[in-house]
Amino acid sequence: MIQFLVHEKADTVGVATVDISAGSEATGLYMDSQEETKVKALDDIPLGHKVALIDFADGDSVTKYGEDIGKVVAKIQKGNHVHIHNLKTKRW
């Protein structure tokens, strides 16, 4: 069962299509290639929220839809929930 989608191979986050429970191995699908990928969820990831596909350091950029969507403001590990507590827009 697909639990998250990744729009492009270059994206560094996926988007949950269902609620994902911490500790579970979630299956994702790259929409551009139709390849599957897996990640162990380190946090609960609510439907519609982002899951990290790589480790990020403070100051790194996050890519979604092939675009830079913001700056990491707290260390993120692969499998963590990516949201407003650890990602901020670069607009302000």
Q: Can you give the pLDDT of all 92 residues of the chain as single tens digits?
A: 999 999 999 999 999 999 999 999 999 999 999 999 999 999 999 999 999 999 999 999 999 999 999 999 999 999 999 999 999 998 76
Separation between Cα atoms, residue 64 and residue 62, nearest integer Å: 7
- Sheet with 81-82: strands ordered across: 36-40, 25-30, 4-6, 13-16, 50-52, 81-82
Which residue type sits at 65? Y
Pick the CATH number of 4-88 from 2.30.130.110, 2.40.50.100, 3.10.20.740, 1.20.810.10: 2.30.130.110
